[in-house]
Amino acid sequence: MLLSVCCMLSSAKAQLVLNPQQKLMITNIMESFTENSEGGIDYSDLQTQLEYMMIHKLNLNKATYMDLTQLVFLGSTKINAIIRHRIKYGPLLNIYELQAVEDLDEQSIALLVNFVTVTETEMSDHEKLFDMIKKGKHELILLQEQELQQRKGYRVTDETANRYLGNAYRQVARYRFAYNKRLVFGYSAEKDMGELYGKTPLNFFDFNSFHLLYRGKGVIKNIAIGDFQANMGKGLTFGSGMATRKSAMVLNGGSFYETFRPYRSVNESGFLRGAAVVLEHKHAQLSMFASVTKISATLNYDSLLDAGTISAISLTGLHRTPTEIAKRNNSRQYIAGLNLAYIQNSYKAGLIYVVSKFDADKGANTKPYALFEKPEKLLQNTGVYGQALIKNVMVYGELSASSNKALAGFVEALIPLHTTADFLILYRNYSPSYLTVFANAFSEYGNCRNEQGIYMALALKPLNFLQINMYADIFNSPWLRYLVNAPSAGQEYLVNIQYNLSKTLQFEGRYKYEQKPRNVTEGNSKTDYPLNRQRQLIRLQLLYQINKNLTFKTRFEQVFFDKPFAATQSGTLFFEDVHVKTLRSKLSITMRMAWFDIYSFDARVYATENDVLYNYAIPQYQNQGWRMYILLNYKLTKKLDVYFKYAQTTYSNTNTIGSSLETINGNTLQEVKVQLRVLL
């Protein structure tokens, strides 16, 4: 079975469009990585990275340890196994040799062969710039999204009122050019629902972004211009983009991005705008960047000083009302940094220095929980990090200091216990006063501040058809937090069992428990004090592939939420997914019918959805009702395909949806997306 899969994939050359099976595979990887997370987090960057790597495959005989970490499903044990095999036996002769790599199981190989090759790419690494431009591939994507029900913000006609000034369409345009991995250029533009069109071609869309990335083979390793993401070390001193989070991939405790990568999302915050370069000579590497980004902020003007102070920064990217438009891009953020590293195989050590400031002073938060978060006019961060393979144990660590002399650090070790068992332990200690402009290291609360904890994970594969993943995370905050008016502690546990009953039938069961403190007010008391709240989740899922053209997924999920002085709250979600591939694979159809009964916000459930290309959806299920969607992808020609998604949510226990300007009169919300993709 595996040999036939390898043969099929290795014969596919010059692939430009993912087939339905590959799209489903990426969806499953993303779901395993994100399903513990809540909505509002932009995962499109990671999804786009996986899609890009599936088309532009890594040469397994030349890929470095850092290259392979971008494949989030591998983990350090499997990466080291590949490198050891390559050192001991030389370059892999063909893709089938993966079956001989120690510590690589059949499931990992089945995923890996979609992203790697063992042959040279058809394009030379020594092409001139003009030849790269001539031989590169072009992609154009146009998306329109709208809701069929009208929200209150569009119904307000009073010119003096706060209302949405634009139409109810969300529109996105993307253009991408790529020559292998060496030269990448892209432009993305977006107008959100309710936003106005600009009056000139350059600002016709509310948000515009472009990126240019060149990967060299000499001293100049990378050059990035325009909008990009940066990840230095393990992301504690500086790391932009999505943070490392707990997930069913329990051994994934580290970063999985290259140092600089193009910014391909249309999320309007959390990226860098400027230039970056990576220089490399033998084992030494120097990475440098400089960025100036516009931000939308609330400014408090001081007439005596004739200056404004930033009291809040908006991260929504929405500029629909006069109030939101007044804040649009009214401040700037300056960031520069460098990373000096020594790299040899799986060994790495480095020094990081980053400096950042705003063009206006940032006002101090006077709340008690923010006592130690005093803003620095010129924030400086210095960090040291390293990773080493000691016998068969992979050790990582990073220690960082901010200019207010606060420290933050973590250390982790991945220990292979047996060919069927891997253990990871991670200790973190982040000071309450540690400040950094961007960080994406492992953290419970996401800001790498005011946190101590120990995370332990165990991945077992006692049988070829059985995978057991589990983790325990015990953490505390030595100082107050938002809505927690005292030092506090929490804990979280997860057990996930995946049982392959056959090659076409897979069962998955999950139990998750978390306990965290939150302020409560008892009786007529005016003083809030924290008490523990408990949340438990039970999931049962069955994935059944009848044949290569028809797949079913059934999920039942139950949430129990307990808080002091209240009855247990519960939430139930049940859905059925159907994935169909028809008409000689030209048409693929994904459908879902979901029923939910969740009266409490605290018992809410998130479930990932399939979406149009380069979009990722994690809707929140709350209240009581039904949600269905259908996603169609039809390949009109070899270079033209179209996506269509229709979703409808109907509530049985409410007659209005949303609040304030987002209010809809009625119990039904219908959403439509149409996307056109052209390969040139």
Domain ranges in the chain are 1-122
Question: Which one, of 513, 520, 602, lies nearest residue 565 by Cα?
Answer: 520
Q: How many alpha carbons lie under 13 Å from residue 662 in its C-beta half-sphere? A: 6
Listed range (214-218, 239-243, 395-399) with the worst mean pLDDT: 239-243
- What's the pLDDT at 2? 40
**Least confident span in 1-15, 425-439, 588-602:** 1-15
Task: Name which residue leads in pLDDT, 533 or 522.
Answer: 533
Predicted confidence band at 55 (pLDDT cuts at 50, 70, 90)? confident
Closest CA to 30 of 462, 591, 611, 582: 611
Judge contact between 578 and 555, C-beta under 8 A.
no
Annotate 473-497 with b (16+ C-beta within 10 A) or e (fewer). bebebebbbeebbeebebbbebbbe
Decide which of 46 and 113 is more confident.
113
> Can you tell me which residue has the tokens 């030269």?
183
Instruction: Return the minimum-mean-pLDDT range out of 3-7, 403-407, 454-458.
Output: 3-7
**Average of pLDDT values for 399-417?**
95
Handedness of CA 33, 35, 41, 44 (dihedral sign): positive
Least confident of 39-48, 85-94, 239-248: 39-48
pLDDT per residue as tens digits for the range 127-158: 777 888 888 899 999 999 999 999 999 999 88
User: Quick one: pLDDT at residue 125?
Assistant: 55
Q: What DSSP element (H or E) covers 673?
A: strand 668-679
- The rounded distance, in Å, linking the Cα atoms of 297 and 85 is 53
How far apart are the C-alpha atoms of 106 and 409, rounded to whole Å?
A: 36
Query: What was the pLDDT predicted at 35?
Result: 60
pLDDT value, residue 338: 97
Rounded-to-integer distance, Cα 430 and Cα 407, Å: 7
User: Does position 420 have pLDDT exceeding 70, yes or no?
Assistant: yes
What's the CA gap between 358 and 335, in Å, rounded?
9
| pLDDT interval class at 70 (50, 70, 90) | confident
Q: What is the pLDDT of residues 533-576, one digit of tens each?
A: 999 999 999 999 898 889 999 999 999 999 888 889 999 999 99
Lowest mean pLDDT among 99-108, 325-334, 427-436: 99-108
pLDDT at residue 659, as a whole number? 93
Alpha carbon distances (Å) from 56 to 15, 125, 127, 129, 652: 8, 14, 17, 19, 47
Please give the average per-residue pLDDT across 575-594, as a whole number: 89
Mean pLDDT of the region 307-316: 85
- pLDDT at position 242 over 70: yes
**C-alpha pair distances (Å), 273 with each of 229, 248, 294, 558:** 9, 33, 9, 43
Angle, in degrees to the nearest 10, between helices 44-55 and 20-34: 140
CA triple 245-145-667, angle to 5 deg: 85
Q: For residues 401 and 409, give the distance between their C-alpha atoms in angstroms, rounded to a whole number.
A: 9
Query: Is residue 627's pLDDT more than 80?
Result: yes
Task: Quote the tokens at residue 654.
Answer: 């409410």
Pick the more confident residue, 216 or 645.
Answer: 645
DSSP class of residue 617?
B
Q: Is the pLDDT of residue 37 over 90?
A: no
Kindly report the number of other CB atoms within 10 A of residue 231's CB atom: 21
306 or 534, higher pLDDT: 534
pLDDT tops 70 at residue 220: yes
- Is the predicted pLDDT of residue 356 greater than 60, yes or no? yes
Q: Is 331's pLDDT higher than 80?
A: yes
pLDDT given at position 306 = 61
By CB neighbour count within 10 A (0-12 exposed, 13-18 middle, 19+ buried), where does 101 fall?
A: buried
pTM of the model: 0.90
CA dihedral for 59, 61, 66, 72, sign (positive or negative): positive
> What is the mean pLDDT of the segment spanning 600-604?
89
Kindly tell me if the per-residue pLDDT of 383 is higher than 90. Answer: yes
pLDDT of amino acid 190:
96
Closest CA relative to residue 555, chosen from 531, 567, 582, 537: 537
Euclidean distance between CA atoms 442 and 450, whole angstroms: 13
pLDDT level of residue 14 (50, 70, 90 thresholds): very low
pLDDT in tens, 270-285: 899 999 999 999 999 9
User: CA 480, CA 368: separation in Å to the nearest integer?
Assistant: 7
On the question of pLDDT at 184 being above 60, the answer is yes
* Residue 13 pLDDT greater than 50, yes or no: no
**What would the two tokens of residue 216 be?**
């060299």
